[in-house]
Structure 1
C-alpha cells in the first residue's frame, strides 16, 4: 500500500475535525456557534487565550460567518485555518532569525 503524504494527511485531518463537531445542533455540513466553541475548546485551547470566553467565540463567529447565515461552513472554516497556518509560519520565521 502506498504511504499517504504528510500534506494529504493534514487535509484529511482538517476535514475530519470539522465533521467531528459539525451537525450536532443542525446542518451536518455547518458549525453552529456552540459547535464552534466546542471545537475551539477541544482542538485549539493551547493556541487561544481563553477558548471558553463567549466574547472570543462571538468575535470568531462574526468574522468567519462570511455569508451571515449564523453558521460556519467548511469553506469559512478553511479560511480560519489558512490564517492560523500563516500565523504559525510567521512565528517560526521570526523565531529562526
Structure 2
C-alpha cells in the first residue's frame, strides 16, 4: 500500500526536525537551539520569512514556542510552532481564496 500525502508529510516533518536538531555540537540531538531554529525556518520556510517584516520576529517566535524557557525547542514545542503556522496559513486561505490551486500559498 502506498503512503498517503499526509503520511509522507508527517514523515518529512520528523526527518526535517531531526536533521536540524542533529546539527548542534552539544549532546542534545532532539532539540533545536536558536541558531538551528533560524536555519530551519530560513531553509525550509522561505515563503514564511518573506512575510516577516520585523527582524526580531524569529527571536520572538522562538521565545513564544519555547514553553519551558530552556533556550531550546523540543519536538513538541516545534510541532506547536508548525501548528500555529498552519493555522495562520489556513486563515489566509479562507480569507483570500484564489491562486492557482484555489488557495494562496507557496509550493
* TM-score, with length taken from structure 2: 0.79
Distance 1:93 1:50, change over 3 A: closer
Aligned to 1:21: 20
Q: Secondary structure at the match of 2:3?
A: coil
Asked whether 1:33 is paired with 2:39, we answer no
* TM-score, with length taken from structure 1: 0.86
Task: State the 1:50 CA deviation.
Answer: 5.1
Task: State the 1:96 CA deviation.
Answer: 2.7
Q: Compare 56-65 and 33-42 and name the one that shifted more.
A: 56-65
Aligned length: 94
Gaps of 5+ in 1: none
Counting only pairs closer than 5 Å after superposition, residues 4-19 of structure 1 correspond to structure 2 as: 4-19=3-18
Task: Find the aligned partners of 1:66 and 1:19 in 2 and give their Cα distance.
Answer: 20
> Superposition RMSD on alpha carbons, in Å?
1.8
Gaps of 5+ in 2: 99-107
Moved over 6 A (4+): none
Distance 1:38 1:95, change over 3 A: same
Aligned to 1:3: 2
Q: Compare 42-51 and 55-64 and name the one that shifted more.
A: 42-51
